[in-house]
Amino acid sequence: MTATASSRPAAMIPVPHGSGARAARQRWKFAAIGVIWGTSLSIAVIWVLGGGVQALAAGPADALDSLGRITGLASANLLLYQVLLMARVPVFERGLGRDAITRLHRQSGFWSFWLLLAHIALLVLGYAEAARIDPLTQLWSFVWSYPGMLLATVGTLLLVLVVATSGRRSRRRMRYESWHLLHLYGYLGVGLAVPHMLWTGADFSGAPIASAYWWGLWLLAATSVIVWRIAIPLRRSLRHGLRVESVRPDGERGVEVCVHGRALHGLRALPGQFFVWRFLDGPGWTRGHPFSLAAAPAAEHLVLAARTAGDGTRRLATMRPGTRVLVEGPYGTMTGRARIEGRGVLMLGAGAGVAPLVALLEGEAYGPGEATLVTRDHRGAEALRSQEIHRLRLERGVVHFALDGPRAQRGPTWVPAQYADWSGGELLRYLRPDLLDCDVYVCGPAPWMTALLRDLRAAGVSADRLHHESFTI
C-alpha cells in the first residue's frame, strides 16, 4: 500500500453540495414515488368500478374471474412501468437514481411475469368452472377462439424467454450482446398483448375512465421512449459534434477513449456520472453500453475507460479517430452533490469501478490528505487510470492504497488474501481513521460492493454518507 501527498491544488468544477442538493433529490424522489403509487391506486379503482369486489362473493367462477382481472391489470401496469423505468424519464432518474431504477426494473419484471401467469391460470379456471369443462379444453378455446389471444400467446412466450434468460445464473453464461438482444423481445411481447387487451378486456376499454387511463399510460410510455431514448440523445450528439479523438491502452486489460465535441458544458455532465455510448463504427453500433466518465468533463473532451471483457468493450480498442459517437445521458447520482462540504472523502473502487472515482477526485474540492482512494485489482498491472492516480497523488495530495492480489477466501472478501486476518471494520479504520466523519463512495462489481457495503454499515457509516450505484439488471 502506498500513500503520498502534495499541496498544489488543481482546478475544480463547481458542484453544489450539502442540504440544498439533498432536498432537491428528496423532492424528485417524492414525485417519482407519487407517480408509482398514483398509478397503482388507479388500477385498484378501475377494478373496483368494474365490479371486482362484488364478484368475489358471487360464486367460485365469478371470484376466479375477478382475481384473474386484477392480476391481469397489475401485470399490464408493471409491464408498462418496465418500459417507463428504462426510458430515462427525468423524474425517475433524478428521484430514484440508476441503482434503484435497475432494481425496480428487475423486480417489476419478475412480478409482472408471475402475475401474468396467475392471470392466465385464474381466468382459465374461472371460465372452465362456468362452462363445466376441463381447464385444458378451456385454455385451448381461449387461444384459438378469442380475439387477439393468438398474438397474446406469442407475446407470453416471448416474455417467458426474456424471464428465463434474465436470471443471474443465465446472465453469467451469456454474452452481454446476446442477452441484450433477447431482452429486447420483451418490448415485442408487450406490443403483441395490446390487441387482446383492447378486444377482450372490459377493464381496458369497457369504461371511459379505464380507456383514458390505459391509452394515456401507453401514450406516455411510447412518447418517453421516443423522446428520452431517441430524439433528445440524437439531437444532443449531433449538436455537440461528438467524435472519437483518440484510443489508447489503459493498463493490461483496459482501454481509454477520448471523445471530442463542441461546448460540452451544455451536456451538464458531472464527475461520477455515466453515459450510454454508441459508436458508429459498423454493425452492432445500435447496442448501447453504459460507461462512466473516467475524467472530470472538460469543455471539449469526455473520457471513458473500460475493461476489455466482452465484444462491446473489445471493439473500443479497434476504433479509429473520427468515429461518430451518440450518447444518452448523463445519468447517475453518485456525484459530489450529496457530499457534505468540509468533510473528508474515502473512495473505494475495484476494476473498472475506479474510473468514475478518479473523475470525482478530479472534480471535487479538498485539501492535501483529505481524500483517500482505495483501489482493488487482481494484479497491479491490470489497474485502470494509474497515470491519473499518480498525478492526483502529486498534485492534489490524494492518499492512495492499492489492495492488489487474489481474493481472500475467508475474512472480508472484498480484500486480497494477505488481509484475510483483518476484520472489515479494522481495515477500513486503518485506511481512514476518521471513517465516520467521511463521505464514502463505492464502485465496482456487484458481489464486491455487497461485501464492502456490509462492512461499511457494520463499521457505523451512516446511509447519508454512503454513495454508490450498481448497474446490474
Q: Do 254 and 202 fall into the same domain? A: no
Q: Do 327 and 358 fall into the same domain? A: no
Q: Do 178 and 226 fall into the same domain? A: yes
Residue at 58 is within a domain: yes
Q: Do 246 and 280 fall into the same domain? A: yes
Q: Do 198 and 273 fall into the same domain? A: no
CATH number at residue 357: 3.40.50.80
Q: What is the Cα–Cα distance from 94 to 27, expressed in whole angstroms?
A: 9
Q: How confident is the model at residue 4 (pLDDT cuts 50, 70, 90)?
A: very low
Is residue 223 classed as helix, strand or coil in its secondary structure? helix
> What contacts 351, CB < 8 A, 6 or more positions away?
307, 376, 377, 382, 384, 444, 445
Q: Do 272 and 299 fall into the same domain? A: yes
pLDDT tens digits for 101-140? Answer: 878 888 888 888 888 889 889 989 998 988 888 888 888 8
Q: What is the Cα–Cα distance from 288 to 129, expressed in whole angstroms?
A: 49
> By C-alpha distance, which of 188, 190, 216, 222 is closest to 204?
216
Q: Do 81 and 167 fall into the same domain? A: yes
Residue at 374 is within a domain: yes
Q: Do 287 and 147 fall into the same domain? A: no
Residue 99: what are its φ and ψ, rounded to 5°? -60, -50
Res. 349: pLDDT tops 90:
yes
Residue at 9 is within a domain: no
- Which of 66-70, 193-197, 469-473 is modeled with the greatest confidence? 66-70
Helix residue spans in 201-328 (DSSP H): 202-205, 208-224, 232-240, 311-316
Q: Which pLDDT does position 176 carry in this prediction?
A: 63
Name the domain boundary from 297, 331, 365.
331
Task: Please count the CA atoms within 13 angstroms of the CA of 417 that sit on its side-chain side.
Answer: 6
Residue at 2 is within a domain: no
Name the domain boundary from 331, 350, 381.
331
Q: Which domain holds residue 267?
A: 241-331
Res. 398: pLDDT tops 90:
yes
CATH number at residue 293: 2.40.30.10
Residue 11 gets the label, from left (phi > 0), alpha (psi -120 to 50) or beta, of beta
CATH number at residue 36: 1.20.120
Residue at 179 is within a domain: yes
Q: What is the Cα–Cα distance from 79 to 97, expressed in whole angstroms?
A: 20
Q: Do 282 and 383 fall into the same domain? A: no
The verdict on whether omega for the bond into residue 297 sits within 30 degrees of 0, i.e. cis, is: no
Q: How far is CA 274 from the centre of its chain?
A: 11
Residue at 7 is within a domain: no
The pTM score is 0.79
Positive/negative CA dihedral, 32, 36, 42, 44: negative
Task: Please count the CA atoms within 13 angstroms of the CA of 312 that sit on its side-chain side.
Answer: 20
Q: Which pLDDT does position 95 carry in this prediction?
A: 79
% residues pLDDT > 90 (the chain): 34
Higher per-residue confidence, 171 vs 92: 92
Q: What is the Cα–Cα distance from 380 to 359, expressed in whole angstroms?
A: 20
Q: Which pLDDT does position 305 carry in this prediction?
A: 93
Q: Do 209 and 99 fall into the same domain? A: yes
- The total domain count for the chain is 3
Name the domain boundary from 290, 310, 331.
331
Element (H, E) at 350: strand 344-350
Q: How confident is the model at residue 94 (pLDDT cuts 50, 70, 90)?
A: confident
Residue at 57 is within a domain: yes
Q: How confident is the model at residue 277 (pLDDT cuts 50, 70, 90)?
A: very high
Q: Do 47 and 156 fall into the same domain? A: yes
% residues pLDDT > 70 (the chain): 85
* Mean pLDDT rounded to a whole number for the chain: 83
Q: Do 128 and 184 fall into the same domain? A: yes
Residue at 266 is within a domain: yes
Q: Which pLDDT does position 203 carry in this prediction?
A: 62
Q: Which pLDDT does position 9 carry in this prediction?
A: 34
